[in-house]
Amino acid sequence: MILSASMIESGPSTIPSFPTELGEDRTGEAVALIERMAKEDGSALTELHGMWSPILLGAACRMLGDRREAEEAVQDTFVRMWHRAADYDPKQSPPFVWAFAVMRGYCIDRLRYRHRGKRDSSRVVPIHLHAVPEQLEDARVMALDDWRRVRAALNVLEKDERRCLELAVFLEYTHSEISEHLGTPLGTVKNRLRRALVKVRNQLSRHEF
């Protein structure tokens, strides 16, 4: 299933708002759509794209600083989700967290490619590893454990604190942009973010995160 260009281009040109508690799927709607995708239901992909593409595109634009590359990263994300829908396990991570991780991976790959293109290959010294690094834990187990810790830390926040932190972390909004987006004084935004970071840091430090 390949997304058409119109599906990507139909998204807004401005950075979209970030829905509260997007990391949760309390209604089960997103999981149900992914299950339909696993059965090759193309309409489910279209619905999920409509739900998430503006948010993912906004985040990708922030990460890459290039609209075209961001659109390609988002399209790659949905294509991968389509092909891997049958492998998705909601017990491992919430649906949007899964999608965001896939999109972030594509963005990081693009940033690394840019960096490699700018490097002088003649100055690169190859490093040869003679031993295979020891695998300590299964990556999926570690990711799930980390997600549970982060979710527990976010749950200690007040609603307004969590809202500000989500905008700052997921969409990389500046303090001024958060203030404008929420219609909240800049000083209040800074105080909420400061309190949120202290609470999250204290919560995660209990687990040596």
Same structural domain, 22 and 96: yes
Give the Cα separation of 97 and 22 in Å (integer).
Answer: 8
Same structural domain, 147 and 59: no
Residue 28 to residues 21, 37, 38, 149, Cα–Cα distance (Å):
13, 14, 15, 22
Q: Is residue 79 part of a domain?
A: yes
Q: Of 117, 149, 172, which closes a domain?
A: 117
Say what the pLDDT of residue 32 is.
Answer: 95
Count of domains in the chain?
A: 2
Same structural domain, 86 and 17: yes
Domain extent for 43: 5-117
Same structural domain, 113 and 143: no
What is the DSSP secondary structure assignment for residue 125, as one 8-state letter?
Answer: P
Same structural domain, 104 and 180: no
Say what the pLDDT of residue 133 is.
Answer: 37
Same structural domain, 108 and 189: no
Say what the pLDDT of residue 127 is.
Answer: 38
Predicted confidence pLDDT, tens digits, the chain (209 residues): 545 444 444 443 333 444 445 556 778 899 999 999 999 999 999 999 998 998 888 888 888 888 999 999 999 999 999 999 999 998 888 898 889 889 988 988 888 887 776 554 444 444 343 333 333 344 444 455 566 677 777 788 898 998 888 788 766 678 998 898 889 999 999 999 999 989 888 887 765 54
Same structural domain, 91 and 24: yes
Say what the pLDDT of residue 208 is.
Answer: 52
Q: Is residue 25 part of a domain?
A: yes
Same structural domain, 17 and 111: yes
Say what the pLDDT of residue 49 is.
Answer: 94
Same structural domain, 83 and 9: yes
Contact between residue 53 and residue 7 where contact means Cβ atoms under 8 Å apart: yes
Which residue in this structure is represented by tokens 């834990």? 137
Q: Is residue 147 part of a domain?
A: yes
Q: Is residue 126 part of a domain?
A: no
Same structural domain, 82 and 9: yes
Q: Is residue 23 part of a domain?
A: yes
Cα 188 from chain centroid (whole Å): 26
Same structural domain, 18 and 97: yes
Give the CATH number, domain containing residue 67.
1.10.1740.10
As a whole-number percent, the residues of the chain with pLDDT over 90 amount to: 28
Q: Of 117, 149, 170, which closes a domain?
A: 117
Same structural domain, 54 and 108: yes
Give the CATH number, domain containing residue 178.
1.10.10.10
Q: What share of the chain is helix, strand, coil (3-state, %, to 5)?
A: 70, 0, 30
Say what the pLDDT of residue 190 is.
Answer: 94
Q: Is residue 88 part of a domain?
A: yes
